[in-house]
Amino acid sequence: MELKEAQTDTPADILADLEAICRQAASGGPKDPDLVRRIQERSRNARKQILARFGVQEIGVQIIRDMRDGPSA
């Protein structure tokens, strides 16, 4: 079976980090501290950007109520 590269807008360095962390997680060994730091830093920056753009979204309670009682009309 031939594997094909997926088309993505994700930068190559992010994809490389994703592949590396997946390999490390699958092997069960220790994680590379520099890799983990880069991923955490990007995650913090993404969270800040989302909060700046959309603010805090209080949707958890409504989702739980909808799951329990069914969607509100």
**Which tens digits make up the pLDDT trace of 17-54?**
999 999 999 999 899 999 999 999 999 999 999 999 99
Q: Are 15 and 5 in contact (CB under 8 A)?
A: no
What pLDDT, on a 0 to 100 scale, did the predictor assign at position 53? Answer: 94
> Residue 34 carries which side chain, given as an amino acid letter?
D
Q: Are 31 and 21 in contact (CB under 8 A)?
A: yes
Higher pLDDT, 70 or 72: 70
Helices (H), the chain: 12-27, 33-54, 60-69
pTM confidence score: 0.67
Q: How far apart are CA 71 and CA 62, in angstroms?
A: 9
Residue 1 pLDDT level (bands cut at 50, 70, 90) = low
Token reading at 36: 């983990």
